[in-house]
Chain A
Amino acid sequence: MDLTKMFQFNADRSSYPELDANGKPIIDLSSHKYLKLWQGPQHPGVTGNMSLELTVNGDEIVESITHVGYLHRGFEKLMERRKFIQCFPTCIRMCVAEPDPNEYILSACIEELGGIEVPETAQWLRTLALEMARLQVLLRGVPGQAGTFSLGLGYQWGNYIRDLILDRFEELTGGRVYHMYILPGGVRGLLPDGFKKRMEENLKLVDEFLVNINDLMYNNIVFKQRAVGLAVIPVEWIDKYGVYGPSARAAGIMRDVRKTHPYLKYGELDFEPFTTTASDVYARSLVRWHDLKMTVDLIRQIMAKMPDKGDIKAPTPNVMHWRIPKGETYVKCESSRGEYGMYMVTDGSDMPRRVNLKGPSYTQATALLERLLINANIADTAAIMVSLATCPPEIER
């Protein structure tokens, strides 16, 4: 029995509004054909404090404009008034859900410009922390995609295991959400006694979770109906819109900094990121499921290979007045959302001259999301946004 036809939704969609000479849609609100609808800034379907100004015709979106600016922060600017060590508690807030890549890229920038060599043990611990961060993000992110279609069960399962991973973070770093673990020069502690054993117990739960979520989501007719073919990103858009990480891999483009430009200890680990070509919401979600699976494997590899003892921090100049010579650098790493980089300029003083963060959400949730939402159904807005792993704090840093 072919269920596809049975569940096919074939509404008579209106045509796209006419375009003017500049390619802009001509929307005449007084025609009563269109309606302005704001999704966000407070909306369960929006992943944080941002809003989408939708122009709809019936339940079809004809235009979307992304609005950010609800967080009132400006951390990049604040860092220009902070000593290098003081940037460390500041930068983590640029992506709340996954703070560790922030810590890493800031530290790596400072170390590169300041000529600091990070000890071996610290590099392993950094790799571990970054993978643990990816693990805890994906434990919510993978089932979260189903959550946007009102399937909240997997989200509850994931959140429980995520809490256990946060316990591991707590004993390793002293914090559950803001770990503040990777600092310029190294890390802030060795693995506590028995950490590996407790971590392995948690990873077993993740293994089980992966099977369950596979059954719940990827072999689910409703999820497939909603996600397959939704918000397809054509391959030619990948460079045009600056698409990175899982979203690019779902379109068949291998973009994973861990593999293409190995940093820390990734060069010594055995892994192959998953790619597929469908490039729709379903494919992007499936790539994340494979990412989660790979992360579990990577954490096991790291724990097996890493040394138990060793220096955790390289000696640095006195952090109270650490002056870094004139220079500039761009350092990147692979966050759960894609390439995550920091551009830093130093001028020889004890503060950075300029810090600029390059995160995948900035391009994906503004230009790309606006484009993808055209002709989409209002009910699919949240799904499309989540499939691009939008993180508003990283857009408005």
Chain B
Amino acid sequence: MSIKDLLTPFTAWKRITKDPVTIRDPFNDRPGAERYRGFHKNDVNKCIGCGTCEDICENEAIDMVPFKDPISGDSGLRPRLDYGRCCWCALCVDVCTTNSLTLSNEYTWVTVDPEDFRYTPGVDKKAWDDNEKGWKKPEGNYEFYNINRVEMHHLHPEDRDKSFVEMVKGYSREQAIAEADRCVECGICTATCPAHMGIPEYIKAVRHEDMEEGLRILYETNPLPEICGRICTHKCETVCSIGHKGDPLSIRWLKRYIADNVSSDKYKEILNTIDLSNNHKKVAIIGSGPAGLSAAHYLALMGYQCTIFEQYEKAGGMMRYGIPEYRLPYDSIDKDIDYILSLGVDIKYNARIGIDITLEQLNKDYDAVFAGTGLHLGRSTGIPGSDNEHVYYATDLLRQITAGEEIEVTDQIVVIGGGNVAMDITRSLARMQNQKFGKVNIITTALEREKNLPADLEEVVESREEGAVINPGWAPQSIEIENGRPVGLHVIKCNSLFDDSGRFNPQCDITKKEFFRGSMIVQSIGQGMDLSYVSEDFKKDLEFGPRGRVQTNAHFQTSVKWFFMGGDIIEGPDVIHGIANGHKAAIGIDNYIQGIDFAPAK
């Protein structure tokens, strides 16, 4: 130690002239940094209330509280923050499926009431709501889950345009697990699905590779998983929360993956339906479409003896006779239906109600009757020439194709209609043209503009891939007939379909005309119900609602107590509504037969 050690510390005095560095709070304002994790903000109109923020919060600082009535795709809930628990880690922001939740850079908040520190951002107005700065989900390749869908393998157009082989190949094990991994289990899908299927639960079963559990969950609400896994209108995917910033989950393909990967001979064991009770009550079911099969399945589980009356040679209704084989192979239909029939459900083929047996007779022989007869009648455009024998209805043609009946396919075809049925017939006829002539020449036209086409986008894209010309935005005027055969369709430009009040009121421009040449014209502008099996006397007892549909209550009971109706004739049209209706009607029928007062007015 030296004298230097004694003197050196005094060099600190050289700083005596420096200013103090203290911030004089609160006189000096000090805003938080650009990324500061301050108080929460929420864009309540962008938020869908999926609750993923609540799930990820490790402090349980977030509660989902009611904000408005739930609607399709929005739970109606919004996150409420408890600042007694929050640690401002901002995981809730990073995981947010809609990017609606952010943090501001505000960090001072003085209040006398501790309850104030529990608030719903965006709903309870705060001074920092318009604060632009603060934490947002980092940009770039930064996601807490994969927002891109695992691609499904499809047959290439050149491999599929001549045959009715199924074009969607299904997921492999790795693909299915990767796709199932994307789910955040928000349940918005379950709320939207007409059958309220346990979607997050069966997706979890895929993740855990527990197909048996997956199948059990599927059959709780849907006895036709093979079919729905292929052709469901997947309203669940439309609202999927991941779809807000990426691709929605392939919920439909995951359902198919479960059903495809369980052998049909294990179904009864897995679903515990080997020994079903029998309560010696009988229920007649008219039609073996989704609604009828669903009702038969759930009634059979409850011990009822069900008999299905089917007008055609095979069961399945529109699923078999309306949907082409390349979308829904007959094997898949048979797998689902065979299982339902194996539960002791009896089926009578080629049995037409009103002709072979009357409804009144059914009432005498059975304890209750359920009718799910679907929409089988084609609707005509009513334009001049539409009554020609070579002007067809899509539903008739699709049924004939399934039944193996000969169809006179010409080398030039015009299809009128822009829905999925129009695409089905377009693509079926395109395949047949390809088989017969080696080329496709089909024009499909519709009133709607391209972006408003009712058909699924993938159907339109795939139709074009297969060679069909989709030319929407035209209103059919007349079918030109020469020598008893159609030669083409006259159309004029259709500018808009609905007026300002949303009513159907097409506005056309008669100066823009077009002529689509075609020696075969197919009309596919919607279907109607065929209630010819209901006698006129019986009709008097039925209450009819708006648009000619029979009025039913929440359990699809008509004003005639023993007569239940469901499926496309009541709601839809699609398979999943039919399944949901059949399930609810089964519960209603059970209650009716047991004499329980059950159904509130719809």
A residues neighboring B (CB under 8 Å): 1-4, 7, 82-83, 85-90, 153, 157, 160, 167, 170-175, 178, 180, 186, 188-190, 192, 212, 215-216, 219-222, 224-225, 311-313, 315-321
Contact = CB atoms under 8 A, between A and B. Distances in A.
A188 B207 contact: no
B127 interface: no
A381 B138 CA distance: 47
A313 B138 CA distance: 10
Contacts of A320: 52, 55-56, 95, 144-145, 184-185
B361 interface: no
Given A88-B91, A175-B88, 16 more contacts: A3-B1, A85-B91, A174-B37, A174-B135, A178-B89, A186-B142, A189-B35, A215-B12, A220-B8, A224-B5, A312-B138, A312-B140, A312-B141, A317-B145, A319-B95, A321-B181
Contacts of B185: 320-321
Contact of B145 (A82, A153, A157, A319): A319
Nearest to A89: B89
User: By DSSP majority rule, is chain A's interface helix, strand, loop, or mixed?
Assistant: helix
Contact of A311 (B32, B35, B88, B140): B140
Contacts of B423: none
Contacts of B181: 317-318, 321
Interface in B1-51: 1-6, 8-9, 11-12, 15, 21, 32-37
Nearest to A322: B181
What 10 pairs across the A-B complex have the smallest Cβ distances? A86-B58, A89-B89, A318-B145, A219-B8, A221-B5, A174-B35, A174-B37, A171-B33, A319-B144, A170-B33
B425 interface: no
Contacts of A7: 1
A2 B34 CA distance: 57
Most buried by A among B21, B34, B144: B144
Given A89-B58, A175-B88, A219 B141 contact: no
A160 B12 CA distance: 16
Contacts of A88: 89, 91
Interface residues of B, number: 47
User: By DSSP majority rule, is chain B's interface helix, strand, loop, or mixed?
Assistant: loop
A173 B33 CA distance: 9
Given A319-B95, A320-B185, A189 B36 contact: no
B258 interface: no
B398 interface: no
Given A2-B1, A171-B34, A174-B37, A318 B144 contact: yes
A317 B177 CA distance: 11
A172 B33 CA distance: 9
Interface in B52-74: 52, 55-56, 58-59
A315 B143 contact: yes
B251 interface: no
B5 A180 contact: no
A119 B9 CA distance: 47
B16 to A, nearest CB: 11
Contact of A318 (B94, B141, B182): B182
B211 interface: no
B36 A316 contact: no
15 contacts: A3-B6, A174-B37, A174-B103, A192-B33, A192-B34, A212-B11, A212-B12, A215-B8, A219-B4, A222-B9, A312-B140, A315-B146, A318-B184, A319-B144, A320-B55
B8 A174 contact: no
B434 to A, nearest CB: 42
B56 A86 contact: yes
Nearest to A311: B141
Given A316-B144, A318-B183, A170 B32 contact: yes
B87 interface: yes
Nearest to B52: A320
B9 A220 contact: yes
A317 B89 CA distance: 20
A192 B105 CA distance: 15
A321 B207 contact: yes
B133 to A, nearest CB: 11
A170 B36 contact: yes
A212 B14 CA distance: 10
A366 to B, nearest CB: 29
B501 to A, nearest CB: 44
A86 B2 CA distance: 56
B82 to A, nearest CB: 15
Contacts of B32: 170
Contacts of A85: 56, 91, 144
Contacts of A317: 145, 181
Nearest to B144: A319
Contact of A313 (B5, B141, B183): B141
A219 B12 CA distance: 12
B90 interface: yes
A28 B59 CA distance: 49
Nearest to A314: B141
A171 B88 CA distance: 15
Contacts of B138: 188-189, 312-313
Nearest to B35: A174
A71 to B, nearest CB: 16
A82 B182 CA distance: 20
A1 B5 CA distance: 12
A221 B56 contact: no
Interface string B73-96: 000000000000001111100110
A3 B9 contact: no
A154 to B, nearest CB: 8
A7 to B, nearest CB: 8
A2 B37 CA distance: 57
Nearest to A4: B1
B383 to A, nearest CB: 53
A2 B5 CA distance: 11
Interface in B165-183: 181-183
Nearest to A220: B9
